Amino acid sequence: MVNIIKEGIVLEKTELGFEIEGVLNPAIIRSGDYIHMFYRAVAKGNYSSIGYCKLKNHMIVEERSDVPILFPQCEYESHGVEDPRIVKIDELFYLTYTAYDGVNALAALATSTDLISWEKKGLIAPQIAFKEFYRLAQTKGKINEKYHRYNEHESIKEKKGKPVFVWDKNVIPFPRRINGKLHFLHRIKPDIQIVVVDELEDLTAEFWQNYFLQFNDNVVMTSKHKHEISYLGGGCPPIETEQGWLIIYHSVYDTVKGYVYCACAALLDLGNPQKEIARLPYPLFKPEHEWELKGEVNNVCFPSGAVTENDTLYVYYGAADKRIACASMSLSELLKELILNSIPNEK
């Protein structure tokens, strides 16, 4: 077992209108002398925007913006911008987030060269109805029956005058090109999938149709253990190590008191991240403290950002959908534990 230290709460909500209901699910990146945090801030009515603060060390907030950095401006994000993740590829910062229009929750992207000014690139997720998705995805054989359960939306094709699409969330870029190509993890429930493109402009409607024709080949991780039996999804951006891409993801299992969200760990192959090479058979950490057990949504540890300092890995997470907390552990200890749980090569 990996020794986990729950460092405690890093950020709480304030009385400011844009974050009066809660702060959660932060994107984290180290740049210069600071750790920069871009977090989901929730206003009344569950309208979300992206707040910003910077930390001098892993726990101390030195500066915090009193206005959101990113907020709804377009129809596709009219009900909120949620759950950001951030990486730097070459000289450009990529910040992905979930755009919610009150009906559909789909991944979108903004880019920046300085972490201050952001250019929205629009939706990067497919806009596809469940019926078409299901038809394409089953062309080469059956897919997990849970895709129907989580994405069919009770056969509703239109809501509030808008077409209803398959939700595609937790889009997370790898922090560098691999074999010259951009790689993104994403999640259409209940699994984690991967997208590989030469450039962002390749994400056309035709690309997605061909992608869904090969859908099972693009599934990276599926539920294996009791703590992820309901579904799983991406968490922090992948961390490059000698042993592989370290993936801190979230898992969900159902109880009589509702869903429980845990932080989990796996390794993907460095040269071929479509191949999973190791996974812990137990949660890395799960809700146990009052501030993780009680909140806007109870029993939630939702990892979304991480930094390393020497051999220490700091994982930042939304705690009960109300506040932001941090947990730390030895990176080398975690990697050793993962290697002990390597997945045998299939021949």
The pLDDT value recorded for residue 1 is 86
Q: What is the pLDDT of residues 283-335, one digit of tens each?
A: 999 999 999 999 999 999 999 999 999 999 999 999 999 999 999 999 999 99
Closest to 321 measured CA to CA, from 301, 335, 343: 301
CA 70, CA 108: separation in Å to the nearest integer?
Answer: 12
Whether the pLDDT of residue 338 is over 90: the answer is: yes
Q: Answer yes or no: is pLDDT of 18 > 70.
A: yes
At residue 67, what are phi and psi to the nearest 5 degrees?
-135, 155
> Each residue of 159-208: pLDDT tens digit?
988 999 999 999 999 999 999 999 999 999 999 999 999 999 999 999 99
Q: What is the pTM of this model?
A: 0.97
Which pLDDT score, from 0 to 100, does residue 347 have?
42
- Could you report the per-residue pLDDT of 211-223, keeping only the tens digit for each? 999 999 999 999 9
Strand residue runs (E) in 124-275? 158-159, 162-163, 169-173, 182-187, 192-197, 219-221, 231-233, 239-241, 244-255, 258-268
CA neighbor of 83 nearest in space, from 103, 60, 106: 106
- Mean pLDDT over the full length of the chain: 96
Average pLDDT over residues 111-124: 97
Please give the share of the chain, as a percent, with pLDDT higher than 70.
99
Comparing CA positions, the residue from 59, 60, 61, 78 lying closest to residue 51 is 61
pLDDT of residue 127: 97
Q: How far is CA 234 from the centre of its chain?
A: 4
Strand partners, 181: 178
Region 256-275: what's the mean pLDDT?
Answer: 96
Q: What is the average per-residue pLDDT within 244-260?
A: 96
Work out the average pLDDT over 241-264: 97
Task: Give the pLDDT of residue 346.
Answer: 57
Q: Per-residue confidence at 345, pLDDT binned at 50, 70, 90?
A: confident
Answer yes or no: are the C-beta atoms of 177 and 234 closer than 8 Å: no
